């Protein structure tokens, strides 16, 4: 299956991850295509966040590679990792905004750290990014003055500050009401369409998955890797794997049965 553009931006090869004797992932391989919205799903503890952390260079795998435009980030020196981080944007579940800083100061951080732009240009970029996430005029507000959805949008604005090639989102809609979650989904789609930004999204929200995903990969805790890949509607309707069905149909599998029957 292909994304909107068949060129690979990220290639994950035979990735393995463990914490002590606990193996979380093994032999994980897939590609992220230019311009697509790839969604990573799976039950709690299946390694979604671990995989994301490895892909953004925050954690080393036990073995395997993550290639970004051909360069292996898992073996990169700190200087090369910094270059990589200038090409990606990350929004964690908590939004990770600095509470003691205004939105303007939060978004300015990566611009001041990674560029030599003057203050006037930085201020212009800040206004533009806040405008893109419907927070125009909120430059001098602190995170504590914002709702949960507004914090997430501010986090997206900061993640987009350096015009990244790839955006990574970890449980973007977690803790938000349904209306706000829908608004964030629409923002993701609009940003992808307008800028062509490649996106890797970890989520368990079915409505979001069906709405935003160009392609889904599903991880499984027991398999310690990928058990399904495809479009969400395709996986829901055609997969014969009971673990995939239980996720997309929200049905429980009886753990005492080995033949995959669903408990209705």
Residues 6+ apart with CB under 8 A from 215: 1, 3, 33, 36, 37, 38, 39, 229, 230, 231
**Alpha carbon 251 to chain centroid distance?**
25
Q: What is the pLDDT of residues 21-66, one digit of tens each?
A: 899 999 999 999 999 999 999 988 899 999 999 999 999 999 999 9
| Superfamily holding 36-57+86-263 | P-loop containing nucleotide triphosphate hydrolases (3.40.50.300)
Cα–Cα distance measured from residue 69 to residue 254, given in angstroms and rounded to the nearest whole number: 43
Q: What does the pLDDT look like over 211-249, one tens digit per residue?
A: 999 999 999 999 999 999 999 888 888 778 888 988 887
Domains of the chain, residue spans: 36-57+86-263
């Amino acid at each position: 299956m292909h994304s909107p553009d068949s060129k690979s931006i990220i290639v994950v090869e035979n990735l393995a991850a463990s914490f002590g004797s606990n193996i979380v992932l093994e032999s994980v391989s897939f590609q992220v295509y230019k311009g697509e919205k790839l969604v990573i799903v799976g039950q709690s503890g299946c390694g979604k966040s671990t995989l994301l952390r490895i892909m953004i260079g925050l954690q080393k795998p036990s073995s395997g590679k993550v290639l970004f435009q051909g360069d292996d980030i898992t073996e990169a020196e700190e200087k090369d990792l910094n270059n990589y981080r200038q090409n990606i944007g990350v929004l964690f579940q908590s939004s990770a905004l600095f509470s003691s800083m205004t939105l303007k100061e939060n978004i300015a951080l990566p611009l001041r750290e990674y560029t030599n732009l003057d203050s006037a240009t930085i201020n212009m970029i800040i206004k533009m990014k806040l405008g893109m996430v419907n927070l125009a005029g909120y430059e001098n507000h602190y995170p504590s003055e914002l709702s949960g959805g507004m914090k997430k949008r501010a986090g997206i604005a900061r993640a987009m500050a350096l015009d990244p090639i790839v955006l990574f989102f970890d449980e973007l809609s977690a803790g938000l009401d349904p209306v706000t979650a829908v608004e964030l989904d629409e923002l993701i789609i609009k940003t992808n369409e307008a800028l062509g930004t490649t996106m890797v999204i970890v989520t368990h929200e079915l409505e979001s998955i069906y709405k935003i995903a160009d392609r889904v990969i599903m991880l499984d805790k027991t398999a310690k890797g990928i058990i399904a890949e495809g479009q969400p509607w395709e996986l829901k309707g055609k997969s014969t794997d009971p673990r995939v069905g239980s996720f997309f149909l929200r049905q429980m599998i009886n753990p005492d049965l080995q033949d995959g029957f669903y408990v209705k």
